[in-house]
A and B are shown apart, each in its own frame.
Chain A
Amino acid sequence: MATRVCIVGVGESEFGDMPDRSALQLHQQAARAALQEAGLRPGDVDALFSCGADGMHPLLVAEYLGLRPTYVDGTQVGGASWEFFVEHAVGALEAGLCEVALLVYGNTARSDVRRRLHGPEGAHSARGPAQFEAPFGLTLAGRYALVARRHMHEYGTTARQLAAVAVAANRWAQLNPRAFHHGHPLTVEAALASRMIADPLREADCCLRTDGGGAVVLTTAERARDLRCRPVHVLGTGEAVSHLHLAQWHDMPDLVARRSGQRAFGRAGIAPNDVDVLAVYDAFTILVLLTLEALGFCEPGASGPFVESGALGPGGALPTNTDGGGLASNHPGMRGLFLLIEAARQLRGECGPRQVPDARIAVCNGTGGYLSACGTVVLGA
């Protein structure tokens, strides 16, 4: 049975390259836009869901936004956190613990590197279990490269197939004026010629680093009836985690979205072939392949030929990351919230040249950590 919860507002801050904005400012810009869409005031928010790199992030955000919420969740599982938050908000709203839930995020990931606040890789500790990983120079891209190489070995996946994922995202970005790579088309040949980062992953296989913020407002279907915005229904949710350190991922490369997806699809009562629009975390191209297989859109090993057929791009069989995704639109540190925003806009039919005709069912799959955590959300128009 579908949940009784709806998305009633989504919003984004300015984004791209904004050296003169603070991360908290981007939180506020996005929250204001989402609440305006819903026709709600800040004082209506009684539940806050947010996380960032710092501890006690929800306290910082509540204070900065002038909110006094009575339900708070700061789950931090990386980029999947916002799909986890939807599941937690559904539970809290259905239990009557809160009425208006605000999910909000902001980050100046791009400008912070320029300001030398942190390197592109951030800081890695060599304490605890990390003492068996940190000494060997394994980068973030290197982690995904290990998975990509294994997938290639097991299934014959090719670099050209990975490039097809980047090209599909880029084609969507050409239809989205707000996308970072709008006006910068990419070909498979150019992707394959981009510089090697961590073999087999090249620059074109890696997501962007942008500044930006996003927000989503959820409430009950009953409350949604009185609001301004056309509601998007949360049909089902699921979450699951498998590991933190890559050597502990015993069923690699089978992404834990297999479990979160089964739970979400089960509650929504849908199957993969019911899905009109897909939004998946695409930190690196290989993650899209793993997600397609884990959610059941492809058999294990069949995702490479599937994406090479053009299935993910405009006019394809499975329109995916229609805003351009993290590969070509925006990726401010963590991207999970932006999957929900684009999916909601597609289901409301607001996407202009990139609109998927008659989009009724959308699936969002966030992945966080080092392919560690997955949250799946099924949305319905």
Chain B
Amino acid sequence: MMRGGPPAAHLPVIDPETAAFWAGARDHRFLVRHCNACGRKHFYPRHYCPHCWSENCEWRPSSGRGRLYSYTVIHETDVPAFRERLPYIVALVDLEEGVRVVSNVVECTPEIVHVGMPVEVVFEHLSDEITLPQFRPRQS
């Protein structure tokens, strides 16, 4: 499920605020932004802290572990490259660091996926530039 990567039009377009994240993903690290002023983390990455507007932020590796806040099993799409993979799972993952991300759940079936499921990050190499973080079930 979800092997082979998204179609070209859906591949991330890397920009200055996100380049370090995708560099981390190439090294199989899931980086989040940490604010040195208020101590909170955020994702998606911004140059500043959206909680307190400090610009004193840095990249920190996350554990890559989290739980499903919610999920859906997609049965229909009009994007041909995604259609080939139906059905596939899209989830909101709450990482242990307190940020929420959208991703796929792989190595998992619609029968066992559930809200609260413990998951861990896995990385799918798509190109020299893009390695895509996805999640798979883990033992809690």
Contact flags (1/0) for A193-216 with B, using CB distance below 8 Å? 001111111000000000000000
Does A135 touch B at the CB level, under 8 Å?
yes
Report the nearest B residue to A196, measured CB to CB.
B75
Q: In the complex the two chains form, what is the Cα distance from A138 to B102 in whole Å? A: 9
Question: Known: A142-B72, A146-B72, A199-B75. Is A135-B92 also a contact (CB below 8 A)?
Answer: no
Does A222 touch B at the CB level, under 8 Å?
no
Is there contact, CB below 8 Å, between B77 and A137?
yes
Does A309 touch B at the CB level, under 8 Å?
no
Q: Which residues of B contact A124 (CB under 8 A)?
A: 9-10
Contact flags (1/0) for A139-162 with B, using CB distance below 8 Å? 101100111011001000000000
Question: Known: A135-B6, A136-B104. Is A198-B72 also a contact (CB below 8 A)?
Answer: yes
Is there contact, CB below 8 Å, between B115 and A134?
no
Give A162 Cβ to nearest chain B Cβ, in Å: 14
Q: In the complex the two chains form, what is the Cα distance from A358 to B23 in whole Å? A: 64
Question: Known: A121-B79, A137-B85. Is A128-B90 also a contact (CB below 8 A)?
Answer: no
Q: Which residues of B contact A145 (CB under 8 A)?
A: 72
Does A131 touch B at the CB level, under 8 Å?
yes
Is there contact, CB below 8 Å, between A119 and B78?
yes
Give B115 Cβ to nearest chain A Cβ, in Å: 4
Is there contact, CB below 8 Å, between A129 and B44?
yes
Give A194 Cβ to nearest chain B Cβ, in Å: 12
User: Considering residues A124, A135, A147, which has the most beta carbons from chain B within 10 angstroms of its beta carbon?
Assistant: A135
Does A266 touch B at the CB level, under 8 Å?
no
Q: In the complex the two chains form, what is the Cα distance from A277 to B11 in whole Å? A: 45
- Total interface residues on B, CB under 8 Å, equals 41
Contact flags (1/0) for B1-15 with A, using CB distance below 8 Å? 010011001111111
Give B88 Cβ to nearest chain A Cβ, in Å: 6
Is there contact, CB below 8 Å, between B115 and A132?
no
Does B62 touch A at the CB level, under 8 Å?
no
Is there contact, CB below 8 Å, between B15 and A137?
no
* Residues of chain B from 57 to 92 with CB closer than 8 A to chain A in the complex: 69-79, 82, 85, 87-88, 90-92
Report the nearest A residue to B82, measured CB to CB.
A137
Q: In the complex the two chains form, what is the Cα distance from A132 to B133 in whole Å? A: 10
Interface residue from B15, B74, B101, B132 paired with A142 (Cβ < 8 Å) = B74
Give B125 Cβ to nearest chain A Cβ, in Å: 13
Is there contact, CB below 8 Å, between A150 and B14?
no
Give B93 Cβ to nearest chain A Cβ, in Å: 9
Q: Which residues of A contact B79 (CB under 8 A)?
A: 119, 121, 137
Is there contact, CB below 8 Å, between A137 and B88?
yes
Is there contact, CB below 8 Å, between A247 and B71?
no
Does B18 touch A at the CB level, under 8 Å?
yes
Interface residue from A120, A121, A146, A196 paired with B90 (Cβ < 8 Å) = A146
Question: Known: A131-B18, A198-B75, A247-B100. Is A137-B12 also a contact (CB below 8 A)?
Answer: no
Is there contact, CB below 8 Å, between B75 and A131?
no
Q: In the complex the two chains form, what is the Cα distance from A358 to B74 in whole Å? A: 44
Is there contact, CB below 8 Å, between B6 and A131?
no
Q: Which residues of A contact B11 (CB under 8 A)?
A: 126, 135
Is there contact, CB below 8 Å, between B15 and A127?
yes
Does A94 touch B at the CB level, under 8 Å?
no
Q: In the complex the two chains form, what is the Cα distance from A200 to B82 in whole Å? A: 19
**Chain A to chain B contacts (Cβ below 8 Å), 12 pairs:** A127-B13, A131-B18, A134-B12, A135-B11, A136-B134, A137-B6, A137-B90, A149-B115, A150-B70, A197-B75, A198-B73, A248-B100
Given contacts A123-B9, A124-B10, 11 further A-B contacts (CB under 8 A): A121-B79, A126-B11, A131-B14, A132-B101, A135-B11, A137-B85, A199-B87, A199-B110, A246-B102, A247-B43, A247-B100
